[in-house]
Chains A and B, each alone.
Chain A
Amino acid sequence: EVQLVQSGGGLAKPGRSLRLSCAASGFIVGDHGMSWVRQAPGKGLEWVGFIRSKAYGGTIENAASVKGRFTLSRDDSKGIAYLQMDNLKIEDTAVYFCARERTGYSSSGSDFWGQGALVTVSS
């Protein structure tokens, strides 16, 4: 059974850092791209970024709103994807989802999702 279990998140002050983890099981993690999507309270889905599989270079693309502050990474040997969030802003407050891409490339459709992790940025 494919599962994505998220951990991390919580409350942080503006300018501080948090790291989210996404532990995958039930599939060969290295074969798939991994995406991060967030949803602010009462709002729609917003793409944060994705990291391609190693077969496609493991390259990363980020949304402009987080570029230079958020870093995506993956450890295929452990089956974990990470979202390192630095210099957090109040507008980063949202539920953050990790999601498996159908293929190793990108934007092929996210077919399995983590349960979400709430990140609240407040002074």
Chain B
Amino acid sequence: QSLLTQPPSVSGAPGQGVTISCTGSSSNIGAGYNVHWYQQLPGTVPKLLIYDTQNRPSGVPDRFSGSKSGPSASLAITGLQAEDEADYYCQSYDTSLRGVVFGGGTKLTVL
């Protein structure tokens, strides 16, 4: 069981918005460590979507945004498109493990 908890699945209709949560604790997100988000399309390599909690790498649409509050972080996706259907993972550093942790992943289904 991961130290970062994500919902196993979320869904939304095209054009709508969804939010994926990532709940940590005082030894990771709550300790102030940055959160990164990855998108993994079926059968492909993970892609960095958000880094340092709220920053988008070049080429990532502004439909994707990240935020953090206390021990939790969120990834918001607006204007859902069919190509957004993928698995999404949050990542942070955990001081008790002295290492990186990933959330269990959330499967986004575009209805």
**CB within 8 Å of B: which residues of A?**
35, 37, 44-47, 49-50, 61-64, 97, 99, 102, 106-111, 113-116
Contacts and interface: CB of A to CB of B under 8 A. Distances in A.
Nearest to A62: B99
Nearest 3 A/B pairs, CB to CB: A109-B51, A47-B100, A44-B105
B46 A107 contact: no
Interface in B16-64: 33-34, 36, 38, 40, 45-48, 51-52, 57
A44 B104 contact: yes
B49 to A, nearest CB: 9
- How many chain B residues sit at the interface, stated as a range, is 20 to 34
Given A108-B52, A109-B51, A110-B48, A47 B89 contact: no
Contacts of A62: 99
B45 A113 contact: yes
A45 B89 contact: yes
B45 A107 contact: no
Contacts of B87: 44
A115 B46 CA distance: 10
B45 A109 contact: no
Given A61-B99, A97-B46, A113-B46, A107 B34 contact: yes
